């Protein structure tokens, strides 16, 4: 009888302890705060005015996604930190917990950083200069003066798959210089992610010849973290939950309402 009473007491204490236990804290770099990296220009993904290392009056798909992720993680304080695209793939420790910057997941990049599960599907888009006859096939692109943003999968596609007759013009790690080159007529066609070129074309209507097509590359965007980040399991779980409940789809429809872009073959 005494043994039964002792066992019952131990069980009761275990239940009480379990009930009073606090959930494990999400392993962010700063307790109770989420630091999210961003870069601009990224119309539709990040709207607002960059000032210093942060952004004023932010809005857009990735901004809204970061807020939804924070809510899933149970974190109310979110800080935004400008993280230039060109520095994302350095093996050095990062000051942010993760960055949302329309980054395509690749095996090469994954050697130095960790990626979240994909949150967006994207192919490569073709933005042409004004006055250029619209290319009707991938083969037509080989005859043009192409350009790309450095350190992008668009540049990799040009160099390793398309291999045009003319050497591609390569611009800085920000997309601004590449867009400027197309607008100035220095570049016939820029190859960059579909949502990015469509957003820019809409933002600066009349500056370009339009987005004439997309090249199917089956790419996906993922959040960028330190290699081996302890936050990855929690972040993946949050993104999967936002996919499952339809939240990500709603954000895409709100911020990235693109018309269908024809496929170049």
* 102: alpha, beta or left? (left if phi > 0; alpha if psi -120 to 50): left
CA distance 193 to 214: 9
Residue 209 lies in a domain: yes
Burial of 65 (0-12, 13-18, 19+ CB in 10 A): buried
CA distance 212 to 54: 34
Shared domain for 131 and 168, answered yes or no, is yes
Residue 174 is predicted with a pLDDT of 80
Nearest to 83 by CA among 46, 116, 32, 117: 46
Shared domain for 155 and 98, answered yes or no, is no
Residue 20 lies in a domain: no
Residue 190 lies in a domain: yes
Shared domain for 130 and 112, answered yes or no, is no
Shared domain for 115 and 133, answered yes or no, is no
Residue 131 lies in a domain: yes
Shared domain for 154 and 203, answered yes or no, is yes
CA distance 221 to 203: 22
10-residue block means of pLDDT along the chain (265 residues)? 44 43 77 96 92 95 98 98 94 97 95 97 95 96 97 96 97 90 98 93 94 93 98 98 96 82 91
Residue 230 is predicted with a pLDDT of 98
Shared domain for 195 and 128, answered yes or no, is yes
Shared domain for 187 and 61, answered yes or no, is no
Q: Which domain holds residue 150?
A: 123-219
Q: How far, in whole angstroms, is CA 112 from its chain's centroid?
A: 17
Nearest to 193 by CA among 221, 159, 161: 221
Shared domain for 137 and 171, answered yes or no, is yes
Residue 117 is predicted with a pLDDT of 98
Residue 95 lies in a domain: yes
Residue 264 lies in a domain: no
Shared domain for 132 and 207, answered yes or no, is yes
Residue 10 lies in a domain: no
Rounded to two decimals, what is the model's pTM?
0.78
CATH number for the domain harbouring residue 185: 3.40.190.10
Residue 106 lies in a domain: yes
Other beta carbons within 10 Å of 44? 23
Burial of 50 (0-12, 13-18, 19+ CB in 10 A): middle
Shared domain for 88 and 170, answered yes or no, is no
């Amino acid at each position: 009888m005494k043994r039964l009473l002792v066992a019952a007491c131990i069980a009761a204490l275990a239940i009480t302890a379990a009930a009073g236990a606090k959930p494990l804290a999400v392993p962010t770099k700063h307790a109770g705060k989420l630091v999210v990296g961003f870069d601009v220009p990224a119309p539709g993904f990040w709207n607002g005015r960059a000032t210093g290392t942060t952004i004023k009056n932010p809005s857009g798909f990735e901004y809204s996604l970061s807020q939804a992720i924070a809510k899933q993680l149970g974190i109310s304080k979110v800080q935004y930190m400008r993280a230039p695209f060109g520095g994302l793939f350095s093996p050095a420790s990062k000051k942010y917990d993760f960055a949302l910057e329309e980054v395509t997941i690749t095996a090469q990049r994954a050697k130095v950083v960790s990626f979240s599960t994909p949150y967006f599907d994207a192919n490569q888009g073709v933005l042409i200069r004004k006055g250029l006859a619209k290319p009707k096939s991938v083969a037509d692109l080989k005859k043009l003066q192409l350009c790309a943003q450095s350190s992008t999968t668009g540049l990799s596609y040009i160099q390793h798959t398309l291999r045009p007759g003319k050497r591609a013009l390569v611009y800085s790690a920000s997309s601004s210089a590449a867009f400027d080159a197309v607008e100035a007529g220095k570049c016939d066609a820029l190859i960059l992610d579909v949502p990015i070129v469509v957003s820019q074309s809409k933002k600066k209507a009349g500056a370009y010849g339009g987005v004439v097509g997309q090249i199917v590359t089956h790419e996906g965007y993922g959040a960028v973290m330190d290699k081996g980040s302890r936050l990855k399991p929690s972040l993946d779980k949050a993104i999967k939950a936002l996919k499952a409940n339809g939240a990500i789809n709603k954000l895409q429809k709100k911020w990235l309402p693109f018309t269908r872009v024809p496929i170049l073959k």
